[in-house]
């Protein structure tokens, strides 16, 4: 895709390459890279630079058990092939879905969600927002990455279409509204509960784990 306007920051790409991102955010970054030529090129260029730097370093001595570990790895069964992308869902999302279509749970107002993973480091979910519908206004207790997979939405931070990523943190309060047309489907990762303004979303927050 070439019309993506909102990209992954350099800091997040660095953490992704280093394996320092929590699982939920790593999936969002991987899904964005599968859709965005620009970010994928940046990511691959940094990999090449890192490889060149490693070639210039002195070789480290092998551990005494290196041969046994290599032989064990060679004898291990091959991992199952990862699911391919399907429809609007890139391969990293299909891997989280186990290769199956998503089964979304109703939140209210036609909005649905499916929690793909959740632990102490963060949660990952799919969100389905009908055309013209708004997510309740909210702030953030941490970082939120939202990748658009289908349709589009707009809020105080701009307009976001397929492949765009919105990065929101403590100083952003917004109310995403899905545009008319196709329903908006997003992949969202958070590392802290959202801060809702209205009382009803606050009361339902523990039930829907958002």
Which pTM value belongs to this model? 0.82
The whole-number pLDDT of residue 108 equals 84
Q: How far apart are CA 200 and CA 185, in angstroms?
A: 23
**From edge to edge, which strands make up the β-sheet containing 111-119?**
105-108, 111-119, 122-129, 184-190, 144-150, 165-168
Q: Is the per-residue pLDDT at 66 higher than 80?
A: no
Closest CA to 28 of 90, 85, 72: 90
Q: How far apart are the first and last CA of the chain?
A: 30
Q: What token pair was written down for 9?
A: 């920051």
Give me the domains of the chain, ranges plus CATH numbers. 1-58+85-210 (2.60.120.10)
User: Per this entry, what is the length of the chain?
Assistant: 210
Q: How far apart are CA 69 and CA 75, in angstroms?
A: 10
The whole-number pLDDT of residue 193 equals 85
Closest CA to 167 of 29, 35, 33: 29
121-173 pLDDT, tens digit each: 999 999 999 999 999 888 888 999 999 999 999 999 999 999 999 999 988 99
The whole-number pLDDT of residue 10 equals 94
């Amino acid at each position: 895709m070439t019309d993506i306007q909102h990209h992954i920051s350099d800091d997040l790409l660095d953490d992704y390459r280093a394996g320092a991102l929590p699982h939920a955010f790593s999936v969002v970054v991987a899904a964005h890279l599968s859709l965005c030529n620009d970010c994928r090129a940046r990511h691959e260029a940094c990999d090449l630079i890192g490889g060149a730097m490693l070639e210039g370093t002195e070789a480290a001595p092998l551990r005494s058990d290196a041969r046994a570990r290599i032989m064990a790895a060679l004898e291990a069964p091959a991992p199952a092939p990862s699911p391919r992308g399907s429809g609007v869902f890139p391969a990293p999302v299909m891997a989280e879905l186990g290769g199956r279509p998503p089964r979304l749970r109703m939140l209210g107002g036609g909005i649905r969600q499916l929690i793909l993973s959740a632990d102490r480091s963060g949660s990952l979910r799919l969100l389905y927002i009908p055309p013209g519908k708004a997510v309740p206004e909210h702030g953030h207790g941490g970082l939120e990455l939202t990748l658009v997979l289908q349709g589009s939405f707009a809020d105080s931070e701009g307009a976001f279409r397929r492949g765009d990523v919105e990065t929101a943190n403590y100083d952003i309060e917004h109310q995403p509204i899905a545009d008319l047309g196709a329903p908006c489907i997003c992949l969202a990762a958070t590392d802290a509960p959202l801060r809702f303004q209205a009382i009803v979303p606050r009361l339902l927050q523990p039930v829907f784990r958002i």
